[in-house]
Amino acid sequence: MKNSLDDLKATLERIRKEKYPSIPDAVIEEIVSVQMANQDNPAKRQAETIKVIDRYAALIKSEESGGDR
């Protein structure tokens, strides 16, 4: 199926930019892709989503000041 999720992505981006600018847009986009690709496999979908989040959370180090990732 053709994937035209522009409106959906735009909604997420708007909320991110306005209220949670410290969250990188890339993590949101990756989660959306994972959700799209695994609609028929809930276990895999959840596991892959958590993996994406883990990857970005791991980039947060203790000596960094808050909110710039």
Partner 1 sequence: MRFKELSIHNFGPYKDLETIRFDDCDGVSIIWGDNGRGKTSIMNAFNFVFFGEVKNRKGDLHDYISFINEEGAAEGNYTYEITLTVSDEDKTYSISRSLELMAGVRVPQTNEDVYPVLTVNEDGFIVESGKAEHIVKSLLPKEVARFFLFDGELLQEYEELLNDRSPNGATIKSSIEQILGMPILTYGAADARKAYDKYSTEATRVAQNDTNTAKYANQVARLKAEREGHEGEIEKLKKERETQMAEKRRLEKEMQDTEKLRSYLERKRTIEATIKAKEEQIEAEQDSVLKLLESAWTWMIVPTVQRELDVLNATVTELNTKQSQAASQRRIVAYIREAVEGIQCPVCQHKPTEEERSLLSEKIRRIEAGTSDLSSEEEVTLQKAKARMDVLKRFNVFGSSQEEIRRRCETIDDLRVDISDLRDVQLAELLSDIKAISKDRDADDDPMIAVDLHSRCEREIGILEEGIRAEQARIEQIDGDIVKLNKKIQGLSSNKDVLLANKRLGFVEGIQSIFTEAVDVYRDMLRENVERDATELFLAMSDEADYSGLSINQNYGLSIMLRDSGRAVPNRSAGWEHMVAFALIGALHKNAPFEGPIIMDFPFSRMSTKNKRNMMKAVPMLSAQVMLLVFPGEIDPSTTRQDIGRSIVQECTLQRITATHTHIERSDYNG
| Residues forming the site for partner 1 (CB under 8 A) | 1-5, 7-8, 11-12, 14-16, 19-20, 22-23, 27-28, 31-32, 35-37, 39-42, 45-46, 49-50, 53-54, 56-57, 60-62, 66, 69
- Provide the minimum distance between the beta carbon of 57 and partner 1 in the complex, in angstroms, as a whole number: 5
C-alpha torsion sign, points 10, 15, 21, 26? negative
Kindly report the number of other CB atoms within 10 A of residue 34's CB atom: 19
Q: Which residues contact 54 (CB under 8 A, 6 or more apart)?
A: none
Tokens of 22: 């410290």
- Provide the minimum distance between the beta carbon of 3 and partner 1 in the complex, in angstroms, as a whole number: 6
- Provide the minimum distance between the beta carbon of 49 and partner 1 in the complex, in angstroms, as a whole number: 4
